[in-house]
Each structure stands twice: as C-alpha cells, then as structure tokens.
Amino acid sequence: MTSSFKGPKASRRQFLAGAAAIGAGAATGARAQSPDPLITEVQEWAQGLGEGVDATPYGMPIRFETDVVRRNVPWLTADPISSINFTPIHALDGTITPQGCAFERHHSGAIELSKDDYRLMINGLVDRPLVFTYADLERFPREQHVYFCECAANTGMEWAGAQLNGAQFTHGMIHNMEYTGVPLRTLLNEAGIQTEGKWVYVEGADASSNGRSIPMEKALDDVLVAFKANGEALRKEHGYPVRLVVPGWEGNMWVKWLRRIEVTTQAVESREETSKYTDTLADGTSRKWTWVMDAKSVVTSPSPQSPITHGPGPLVITGLAWSGHGKIKRVDVSIDGGKTWEQARLASEPGDKALSRFYLDINWDGSEMLLQSRAMDETGYVQPTKAQLRDVRGLNSVYHNNCIQTWHVKTNGEAENVEVS
Amino acid sequence: MSKSLKLYAGSAVGTVLMLTLAVNFADRLVPEHSDSYDRMAVENDRDFHLIARAQADEMMAARPFGLGRAALPEEIAAWDLDVSPDGTGLPVGSGDVMTGEEVFIENCAVCHGDFAEGRGNWPKLAGGEDTLADEDPLKTVGSYWPHLSTTWDYVNRSMPFGNAQSLSADDVYGIVAYILYSNYLVEDDFVLSNENFTEIVLPNADGFIIDDRAETEYPIWRTEPCMENCKDTVEITKRATVLDVTPDEETTEEALAAPAEEPVQVAAADPAPAEEAPAATPAMAIDQALADKGEKVFKKCKACHKVGDGAKNGSGPQLNGIVGRSVASADGFKYSGSMVDYGGEWTPERLAAFIAKPKGEIKGTKMSFAGLKKEGDVAAVIEYLKTFGQ
C-alpha cells in the first residue's frame, strides 16, 4: 500500500520507502528479477464485477486521489471563515482547474444563495436602474472564455524569504476555468451608462460585500458576469449562482455572489482597495489600484510535495505560466539556479489571460538541481527575480509577488523551497 | 411587466416622489406600467410627474434587450449603502466617543480588543503611527487607512463579524468616533456626524500613489532574457524547512483503508443544510422557538465559538454538548487558570451567569466578551446550544 502511493508531506517516510522500493526495481534495468504477481496472478478486479452505473450520481475522484485537495495554512488568518486555501497545483496537470479543488477565498464565509433568491441590481449613473433575476441573465447573449484567477496575495508569504514548503502553498492561490456568462458591457448597456459614469462599483451579497471599484474602460472591455464554470454551475465557494470575472486582474475583484453594480464618477475607496490589496514601498508610501497580475510561472513538478521517486533517467519537468497582460509567449527553465536557461515546450497554444502548461523533458543524471522557471508574455515582459522586485519595492510588499521560484531538488529526488543568490 | 412589479407600483409611486432628491435619478424610476397611476393625482405637480413617467417609459423602452425591470427607490436605498471619501452616501446621524466606546466594547472588542488594539490574529484598528517605512509596519485605521469613509462604510456594511448590518447609523458614527479616539486623533468629547465627517483627515491620506509599475518596473523587465552564463555562482540563501511553518498534511493511509463507499457518503452528506445538525440530540427537550431565537443571538459568539458537525476550537473552544459538559474540557483548547479552577459542570444556571457577565462569574477568564445584557437572550442562546450534542 505505502509503496504504491506517494502521500504529500506525508510522507517523507513513505516517500523514502517508496523511492527505495522503486529504485531497487529501477536498478535491475529492463529486466525483472521475478514475474510480477500483478500480471501472473488473476486479480480480483479482473474476475469479479465493478460498480454499476449510478453508484455515484455525481462522481468524486477515486479514493486513491483523496490527497489531491485544497489545503489551508491555519496560522495565516484568525479564522477559517475569513481566510484562504490553496489549489493542489503540484498534483494537477493540464490547465483547467477542477472546481472541487480550486482555491477559495472568503471574507465572511461562503454563503448559500439560490437562483430563485438571486437579484442583480444596476444603479447609479445609468438611464434605467434595473433589477435582474437569474433567469433574466440567462436570456442575454453568452460568451465563453478560459481565464486564470489569481489572488493578489499568491506567493505573498515568500516575500521575506522561502517560507512554505510546497507549490500548493507558495503558488496555489490560483485557478483557471472556462467561464460562461454575459459580458458586463451588455448589462451596462441595458441600463444605459450616463456620460459622467467613469467607474463601476461592484459588490457581493455576502456580509463582507467585498466591494471593489473598476474603471469603466475595463468594465466595458472583457469583464464577464459568469454563471457557469467548466461547464457546470459555479460552486458555492466560488460565488454560486453568479460571480464577476475580471480577466488578468487580481482575484479580489472577481466579486462572488454578485448583487450590485453601481456606475459612479469616482472610486469608492472601499476597505478592499485601500487597507488591503495595496502595496507598501520602502519609503512607506503605498501603491493603490495595482490591478493587473504580471507574468509569472512556477514548476509544479518536481516540487516539495511532488518529489522525484524514480531515480535518474527520463524526467518530466512541468509547470504553469500566466500573465494578466495577455498570452504567454515562452517559458524558460533552469536546473542550475539561473546560470543557464533552456526554452520549455508549451503544451498548447497559449490563451489570453489563461494558464499555459509547459514541459521540459530531460534525462536527469541524479545530481542536485536548483529548478526555476521564467515566463515571458506577449508584451515582452520577463518574470523577474525576487531580488529585482525587492530593488524596486523594498521589503514590505505583500501582494503581487511574481518572482522566479526555486526548488532545490536533492539527489534522492526530494525537493525543498529555497531562495538563491 | 412582472406581477411583483405591479404589486409594488402603488406604494412605489408615492415613495418615488418623496425620494426624488434623495435617490439618484428617482424621477426616472417610475415603473413602466403603473396600474395605480391615478393616485399620483394627489400630488401637486401633476405635469412634472406626467413628464417624468413618460420619460421613464421611454427610457425603459430603450433597453436593447428589454430585460430586467426598473429598480424601485426603496430597493436602491436598501442596497446602495456605499460611502465615498467625499461623504457621498453618508446618512444623517451622529455619535460621540463615549457612547461609541460602549457600543464598541459590546460589539467589536471581542475580536478587536477594548482599545481597538486587536486580539490574537484579528485586525488591530489602532496604533502603528509612523511605522509604514519600518521593517514590520503596523497598518491600522490610524496609521494606514487613507479615508475615514472607508471605516464608516465597512463597519456599517460588514460588521460586526457574523452579525453585519445590525448597527444603527448613530452606533456606527459612535464606533468610528471611538476608533479615531483610540488612535489619538480626536479628544474624548468628540462627536462625529454627517456634518463634520469630511473635516476629518486621516494621517496617511496622502500616503498612496496610483499603480506606477508601467513606469518603474515594466521598462526594466521588458528585455531579452539571458540564456547562458547569466551568473557566476549560485548559493542557497534561505530554506523553507528551517522555518518549518508548512502545515502538516494528514496522511492518506486512513482514506486508503476506508471502504470504497466512503467518498459517496461524503458527496451525499455535503449538501445537507446546516440547520439539520441540531436534530442530532434528542436527549434534552428543546423549545424550538426559543432555540431559533438563540441561533440569532449566537451570531455574537460565532466569530470565536463553533458548534455543529466537525466544530473545531477557534479563538474560543467549540461548544458542542456544552450544556452539561465538564468545565474546561474541549480537547486541545488552552483555558485560563481561572476557568480550570472554576471546575465542575456547565449547568444551565452556571452558563447563564457566565454568559450574562463573563468576568463577573469567572474573574480572569480569557473570554473578552462583555456579556449578554438581556436575560431573554441568555436563555435563548443556552436553548440553542442545547441542540448541539457532543
């Protein structure tokens, strides 16, 4: 049991045992020492019957995958109700994040709001203040887009130094889904924007309201009022039945349980756009309205929670890259801590403001690696190092840490989150 | 348009007239098909309203898709609560520091401390002046927040945690006045109102600049990246395992040993509404109406105390089975010495005395809650707690 399964941190003990067992197998090369009973003996599953249909009306992952779950870092926040957890990016592949393990961030808990009870109001500087029901929203022309949603605080704990040991914890405040919804501009046009309207203030139905101000230019561009993700209804924790999708911009603006859109002349300067989600520089002044998420990438495997268990030889290095400015142009990978770089292979045509998956297939010689990835987006922006970011911003920043991440992969295949010179 | 709209229309028209000035563009809000239009005849300016209605009809007719209905002024008033830095959105009202202190201690101090200094990991609202350029800045209303409107808006809209929108406008003015006082920004005889609100300028009002990454960062990093000989040496300068703050992940051995049906049970159990949980304890006779009332009162406790399936300790111990439970017996919770000394069992009588005046019943308790003043609330919350078994 233990050798067939790589637990997470787990499983340092399990991991070592597993690596040894598999390593022993690998040492024999292409020839097995004795016939494998999994092949030579008739197995139970090859003889009896499996489950019938409808055993699980809505399917969950098979029990062998129960460690691929969101996790939180309890010491980060005072209470799990106003808190965040992390997508298990170390254990996923492809680019679409399943809703069930996509990170959650709530400011006053995930509320239960039915479609029947749902109302969306547009008011303020509009010709016709309107109220829509959920059914109304479904009658507007729809669009579909894949976008990443990254919390501005993703990797924030790493600003002062390598802190959390796992890609899930350092980079897991991100998910990437295919949204179906109505462009915000369609709804605004239905209400009729008045010429003095320069901003929209959006808020949710939960107690926090999480109100944010969005400049009109963005509101009329690509913002989506979404009600489906990855083909099915949004999950409660992601704002069922309706959330805002603000492509490329920090996750806090993706208001969940969207209930009101107010056209205004000025930014409201709410709690979430003044006291939080602002970036303090070395001299104590702070940047506000830092909405765009700059280009970033991370190697998801190997990584601390996804060590190499197979010993030297063919190794798949993989990871994710994204940019709030548009498409990823290319990703470079270094195995020597940034001395030399090699261009990785993008798994598919990069999408606009969506995650890209990259691979670098190497023949690992079993020596230590300082593994890094570096994204470049279509504007030519190259993901900076932490030192470069600190040179501009000082040491007190928290949000928008898009620095190059380093994993120290040891000869036994274990990996650790480190910072390098 | 819709049935509900017609029902609203009669009263709505009257309110529209009253709120014309108060609510943005209320004159454009007259419902498109008012069956009770005749009632407007009692108003003086008939022509004005005829024109207004015609305009509103025209406006609604101009909708590209003809979807949605007109938002009524009462509805806008109920939801449009945001307050801007220039005071837009502030309701009429006032509150003084001393009254604010009482309201604050009653409603806010349990998380934010009696002096707004914060408890545990909960936000600190006072202090931190001149620390923004320090190594570990303390960001509070006094040291960091640029606009007082933000404080008013957030307290009014989202606080207290677990019982939002329960404070009167005057209470919110009082709380904000007390937060200012806690930051040494006003004297103890200060009264905050909608009239003097915008005169208050917070210390860090000028401390913000608009995102300048396009000038200060992008030009540096929009360059051709180095591919070879990018640096001479590389050394590890920091390691995450030294800090050892990564949460333990439960091993999956248990899950693997579990029967195959388990995930199905999890899936089925998930959507069950939380209200069903109380049914688990039939042992004590429950006055359901009283317990329902208690559930509302319990919102004041919820930030620190959890109940129900899987309830864990938070700032306070979990309270499953608290009625009749041994004092200081929640696994893993660090009680005060006074609580341990108090000993015995939580009878309804002892619980009532403690909840009514925590520090009066147990001097030295860690619970910083001021107590429930109304006897009825105490009884109700105990009845509610009875519905949760072990």
User: What is the tens place of the pLDDT at every residue in B30-80?
Assistant: 344 444 444 444 455 677 778 878 888 888 888 999 999 999 999 999 999
* Model pLDDT, residue B159: 95
* Model pLDDT, residue B274: 37
Q: Environment class of residue A72 by beta-carbon count within 10 Å: exposed (0-12), middle (13-18) or buried (19+)? A: middle
Q: Do A419 and B208 touch (CB under 8 A)?
A: no
Helix (H) or strand (E) holding A260: strand A258-264
d(CA A30, nearest CA chain B) in Å: 31
What's CA A47's distance to the chain center, in Å? 42
CA separation (Å) from B351 to A60, B107, B300, B307, B358?
43, 20, 16, 16, 9
Whether residue A82 is contained in a domain is answered as: no
* Model pLDDT, residue B127: 96
A324/A254 same-domain check:
no
Mean pLDDT, chain B, rounded, equals 81
**In chain A, whose CA is at the least distance from the CA of B236?**
A420
Helix (H) or strand (E) holding A174: strand A174-183
Parallel, antiparallel, or unpaired: how do β-strands A119-124 and A258-264 relate?
Answer: parallel
Structure tokens at A352: 């606009």
Taking CB atoms and an 8 Å cutoff, what residues of chain A touch B228? Answer: 340-341
Whether residue A85 is contained in a domain is answered as: no
Whether residue A258 is contained in a domain is answered as: yes
Q: Do A203 and B246 touch (CB under 8 A)?
A: no
CA separation (Å) from B195 to A269, A276, B94, B244?
20, 28, 9, 53
Question: In A, residues 89-148, which contact B (CB 8 Å cutoff)?
Answer: 107-108, 112, 121-132, 136, 139-140
Q: Do A79 and B303 touch (CB under 8 A)?
A: yes
* Model pLDDT, residue A2: 33
Specify whether the CB–CB gap between B365 and B276 falls below 8 A: no
CA separation (Å) from B388 to B310, B323, B330?
11, 9, 14
Domain ranges of chain B: 3-79, 94-199, 277-386
**In chain A, whose CA is at the least distance from the CA of B264?**
A56
Higher per-residue confidence, B283 vs A188 = A188
A201/A256 same-domain check:
yes
Specify whether the CB–CB gap between A85 and A71 falls below 8 A: yes
Choose among A111, A320, A81, A420: nearest CA to B121: A81
CA separation (Å) from A123 to A193, A263, B237?
10, 6, 53
Q: What is the pLDDT of residues B7-29, one digit of tens each?
A: 333 344 434 333 333 333 333 33
A305/A343 same-domain check:
yes
Helices B148-158 & B169-182, crossing angle to 10 degrees? 130
d(CA B271, nearest CA chain A) in Å: 10
A315/A256 same-domain check:
no
Distance CA A302, CA A67 (A): 17
Residue B88 neighbours by CB under 8 Å, 6+ apart: none
Longest Cα–Cα distance of chain B, Å, equals: 88
Question: In A, residues 208-227, which contact B (CB 8 Å cutoff)?
Answer: 208-209, 211
Helix (H) or strand (E) holding B52: helix B46-61
The minimal CB distance from B76 to the residues A11, A62, A129 is found for A129
CA separation (Å) from A213 to A198, A202, A247, A262?
10, 6, 15, 9
Distance CA B363, CA B383 (A): 25
3 state DSSP class of B164: coil
Q: Do A132 and B157 touch (CB under 8 A)?
A: no
Q: Do B25 and A129 touch (CB under 8 A)?
A: yes
Specify whether the CB–CB gap between A217 and B90 falls below 8 A: no
Taking CB atoms and an 8 Å cutoff, what residues of chain A touch B111? Answer: 78
Distance CA A303, CA A408 (A): 8
The minimal CB distance from B252 to the residues A67, A275, A304 is found for A67
Q: Do B256 and A9 touch (CB under 8 A)?
A: no
d(CA B142, nearest CA chain A) in Å: 11
**In chain B, whose CA is at the least distance from the CA of A100?**
B267
Contact status of A68 with chain B (Cβ, < 8 Å): no
Whether residue A55 is contained in a domain is answered as: yes
The minimal CB distance from A131 to the residues B75, B237, B315 is found for B75
A43/A174 same-domain check:
no
Q: Do A8 and B133 touch (CB under 8 A)?
A: no
pLDDT at B182 over 80: yes
Q: What is the CATH number of the domain that holds A113?
A: 3.90.420.10
d(CA B247, nearest CA chain A) in Å: 6
A363/A220 same-domain check:
no
Contact status of A282 with chain B (Cβ, < 8 Å): yes
Distance CA B63, CA B72 (A): 17
Q: Which of A287, A315, A345 is the last residue of a domain?
A: A287
* Model pLDDT, residue B56: 81
**pLDDT grade for B338, boundaries at 50, 70 and 90:** confident
* Model pLDDT, residue A391: 96
Q: Which amino acid is at A236?
A: K
A41/A162 same-domain check:
no
3 state DSSP class of B292: helix
Q: Do B263 and A56 touch (CB under 8 A)?
A: yes
* Model pLDDT, residue A4: 37
- The owner of tokens 């806008």 is B76
Distance CA A388, CA B119 (A): 36
| Residue of A54, A202, A269 to mutate, interface with B, max B Cβ within 10 Å | A269
Choose among A306, A416, A311: nearest CA to A67: A306
CA separation (Å) from A32 to A25, A28, A342, A372?
8, 7, 35, 36
Distance CA B139, CA B243 (A): 25
A249/A307 same-domain check:
no
Sequential pLDDT tens for chain A (421 residues): 333 333 344 444 444 444 444 444 444 467 888 999 999 999 999 999 999 999 999 999 999 999 999 999 988 888 888 899 999 999 999 999 999 999 999 999 999 999 999 999 999 999 999 999 999 999 999 999 999 999 999 999 999 899 999 999 999 999 999 999 999 999 999 999 999 999 999 999 999 999 999 999 999 999 999 999 999 999 999 999 999 999 999 999 999 999 999 999 999 999 999 999 999 999 999 999 999 999 999 999 999 999 999 999 999 999 999 999 999 999 999 999 999 999 999 999 999 999 999 999 999 999 999 999 999 999 999 999 999 999 999 998 899 999 999 999 999 999 999 999 9
For chain A, the domain total comes to 3
Contact status of A385 with chain B (Cβ, < 8 Å): no
Higher per-residue confidence, B248 vs A119 = A119
Average pLDDT for B297-305: 82
Distance CA A321, CA A360 (A): 13
d(CA A24, nearest CA chain B) in Å: 23
Q: What is the DSSP letter of A32?
A: -
Q: Do A382 and B69 touch (CB under 8 A)?
A: no
* Model pLDDT, residue A29: 60
Whether residue A91 is contained in a domain is answered as: no
Class of domain B94-199: mainly alpha
| Residue of B256, B262, B276, B302 to mutate, interface with A, max A Cβ within 10 Å | B256
Q: What is the CATH number of the domain that holds A324?
A: 2.60.40.650
Distance CA B258, CA A251 (A): 37
The pTM of this model reads: 0.82
Q: Which of A287, A308, A342 is the last residue of a domain?
A: A287
A283/A306 same-domain check:
no
Choose among A317, A318, A322, A316: nearest CA to A297: A322
A165/A269 same-domain check:
yes
| Residue of A274, A279, A409 to mutate, interface with B, max B Cβ within 10 Å | A274
Q: Do B157 and A55 touch (CB under 8 A)?
A: no
d(CA B133, nearest CA chain A) in Å: 4
- The owner of tokens 């949980």 is B277
- For residues B56-83, one letter each, b for 16 or more C-beta atoms within 10 angstroms of the residue's C-beta and e for the rest, the string is beebbeebeeebbbbbbbebbeebbbbb
Contact status of A169 with chain B (Cβ, < 8 Å): yes
* Model pLDDT, residue B358: 87
Higher per-residue confidence, A136 vs B338 = A136
Choose among B135, B133, B108: nearest CA to B123: B108
* Model pLDDT, residue A62: 96
* Model pLDDT, residue A163: 93
Contact status of A31 with chain B (Cβ, < 8 Å): no
- For residues A294-307, one letter each, b for 16 or more C-beta atoms within 10 angstroms of the residue's C-beta and e for the rest, the string is bbbbbbbbbbbbbb
* Model pLDDT, residue B45: 66
A50/A188 same-domain check:
no
A269/A328 same-domain check:
no
Q: Which amino acid is at B334?
A: K
Q: Do A14 and B251 touch (CB under 8 A)?
A: yes
Strand partners, B70: A130
Average pLDDT for B214-239: 96
Contact status of A330 with chain B (Cβ, < 8 Å): no
Helix (H) or strand (E) holding B79: helix B73-79
Structure tokens at B278: 């109380």
Distance from the first to the final alpha carbon of chain B: 53
Residue B78 neighbours by CB under 8 Å, 6+ apart: none
What's CA B332's distance to the chain center, in Å? 28
Which CATH fold would you assign to the domain B277-386? Answer: Cytochrome Bc1 Complex; Chain D, domain 2 (1.10.760)
Whether residue A43 is contained in a domain is answered as: yes
Specify whether the CB–CB gap between B385 and B294 falls below 8 A: yes
Q: Which residue range(s) make up the domain with A258?
A: 101-287
ipTM confidence: 0.91
Q: Where are the alpha helices (DSSP H) in B87-147?
A: 97-107, 109-112
Beta carbon pairs, A and B, within 8 Å: 328
The minimal CB distance from A268 to the residues B67, B84, B212 is found for B84
Taking CB atoms and an 8 Å cutoff, what residues of chain B touch A75? Answer: 121, 245
The minimal CB distance from A278 to the residues B83, B208, B217 is found for B208
The minimal CB distance from A201 to the residues B82, B247, B262 is found for B82
Q: Do A274 and B150 touch (CB under 8 A)?
A: yes
Q: Do domains B94-199 and B277-386 have the same CATH topology?
A: yes
